[in-house]
Amino acid sequence: MILGLSAAYLIRLGFYPIAVVDGQMISARIFEEAAGSARHYFNQVANTYLKSEDRDRIPEIGEEIRRATLDKLIENILVYKALADASDIDVNTVVEDRLNSLKTQTPDFEKAVSALYGLTALRFQDLFLVPQARQEILEERVKNEAADWSDWIKAVRKKSKVYVLARGLYWNGAEVLIK
């Protein structure tokens, strides 16, 4: 009984897999938070710049936002794993240095992030800035090895084991697509 209630509670909070990447889970909670933030940003931009007839297309764009969000979360895990294998640098220190140079702890930054993305500055940093900094670090490493980033990430994506459990989306062996 307690186990069933606990499971129901965890599911309600979004602690169930929406995708599995080489054995690492992407939870529905993280996925919905990231996709919701992207939708919030898009809606803010749409309300500011789109004509009313163009706003009618927003529902179909919503599916693309879900697809692109999951695809990016999968890539973030692949980047994280690749950097974890690189023991010659302290990735966390390099990421922290890059974030400090952005001056993300200012009131203006916090207001802008809240208005544009609907997130706190700390959540924005965790969901978007840290993964982006990690990707930039890995891109530099790949380029230093005389390889092309685009080719490298495509190869990594193809050899990864990815299972997409999200409704309306699937993994074709290289990227997330809409069913």
Between 170 and 58, name the one with better pLDDT.
170
At residue 106, the pLDDT reads 83
Adjacent-strand bridge partners of 164: 19
At residue 11, the pLDDT reads 57
The two three-digit tokens of residue 12, written as one number: 């309600």
In this model, does residue 128 exceed pLDDT 90?
yes
The two three-digit tokens of residue 6, written as one number: 């606990």
Q: What is 83-106 written as a DSSP string? A: HHH-TTS-HHHHHHHHHHHHTTTS
C-alpha span between 27 and 35 (Å, rounded): 12
Fold of 2-178: Triger factor/SurA peptide-binding fold (1.10.4030)
Structure confidence at residue 132 as a pLDDT band (50, 70, 90) = very high
Distances (CA, A) of 7 to 3, 27, 95: 6, 14, 35
The two three-digit tokens of residue 142, written as one number: 């790949």
Where do the domains of the chain lie? Answer: 2-178
Q: Are 138 and 82 in contact (CB under 8 A)?
A: yes
**Could you tell me which residues come within 8 angstroms of residue 24 by beta carbon, excluding any fewer than 6 positions away?**
77, 81
12 by DSSP, 3-state: which? helix
DSSP 24: E
Question: Closest Cα to residue 32, out of 127, 107, 112, 101?
Answer: 127
DSSP 142: H
Q: Which of 5-19, 69-83, 96-110, 117-131 has the lowest mean pLDDT?
A: 5-19
Between 106 and 160, name the one with better pLDDT.
160
Question: Closest Cα to residue 133, out of 87, 66, 83, 174?
Answer: 83
Distances (CA, A) of 2 to 7, 9, 38, 43: 9, 10, 36, 41
In this model, does residue 141 exceed pLDDT 60?
yes
In this model, does residue 10 exceed pLDDT 60?
no
